[in-house]
Amino acid sequence: MSTEKEYIAALTRHLLDIDSPDAMESALRDLLTPNEFVEVTKRLQIFKMLEQGVPQRQIAETLGVGIATVTRGSRALKDSQ
């Protein structure tokens, strides 16, 4: 039986094998629901805006997300550094 770690490794290998932006977008759209796809794109924007020093409340307003979502993104960004 496969483990979660093996599933993550398989996903990572699958994504790394993609060789163009169009193919990556297509793969992500195939893997994610439309809502998940939008949420992932917003999460990336949260990271970018946080790195630029944009205040959390402004990020929430700009992206139309809750402050808790931005705070979660901030914690994730700090944990990855």
Q: Where are the domains of the chain?
A: 21-80
Q: Does domain 21-80 have CATH number 1.10.1060.10?
A: no
Give the percent of the chain with pLDDT over 90.
90
**Above 90 in pLDDT, residue 58?**
yes
- CB count in 10 Å sphere of residue 67: 12
Give CA separation, 10 vs 33, 56, 74, in Å. Answer: 19, 34, 27
**Above 80 in pLDDT, residue 35?**
yes
